[in-house]
């Protein structure tokens, strides 16, 4: 199964969605982009004029080539003067299983 999903972090919390999407679009056609937002509390959005996101999100490309390009080249391109952390997305169940294996190996 081709890898097309990436996790990214270290985006400034005041970066608008369009700016983040534009950054990732330079590497290839995007299938979807999700930038994590502050939670709602009692019908009030905890967003302010300066905090538009939580600094991380997910991007899925239409091809593995585009995703690979974003992963490799994205970390070398500055976004608002900062290097982003861009990694392959790994589902939580798989991450947790690997953590348990690591713990079991340490107990030997």
Query: Which residue has tokens 């959005």?
Result: 45
Cα 83 versus chain centre, distance: 13
b/e for 7-35, b at 16 or more Cβ within 10 A? ebeebbeebeeeebeebbeebbebeebeb
Q: What is the pTM of this model?
A: 0.77
Annotated domain spans of the chain: 5-106
Query: Residue 96 — very low, low, confident or very high, per pLDDT cuts 50/70/90?
Result: low
Give 94 or 30, the one with higher predicted confidence: 30
- Per-residue pLDDT tens over the stretch 28-68: 999 999 999 887 665 555 555 567 899 999 999 999 999 99
Nearest to 57 by CA among 28, 80, 23: 23
Query: Residue 107 — very low, low, confident or very high, per pLDDT cuts 50/70/90?
Result: very low
Domain 5-106 fold is: Alpha-Beta Plaits (3.30.70)
């Amino acid at each position: 199964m081709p890898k097309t999903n990436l996790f990214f972090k270290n985006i400034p919390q005041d970066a608008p969605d369009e700016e983040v999407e534009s950054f990732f679009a330079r590497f290839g056609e995007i299938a979807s982009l999700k930038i994590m937002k502050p939670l709602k509390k009692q019908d009030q959005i905890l967003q302010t004029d300066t905090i538009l996101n939580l600094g991380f999100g997910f991007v899925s490309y239409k091809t593995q080539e585009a995703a690979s390009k974003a992963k490799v080249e994205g970390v070398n391109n500055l976004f608002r003067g900062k290097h982003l952390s861009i990694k392959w997305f790994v589902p939580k169940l798989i991450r947790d299983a690997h953590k348990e294996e690591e713990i079991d190996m340490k107990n030997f």
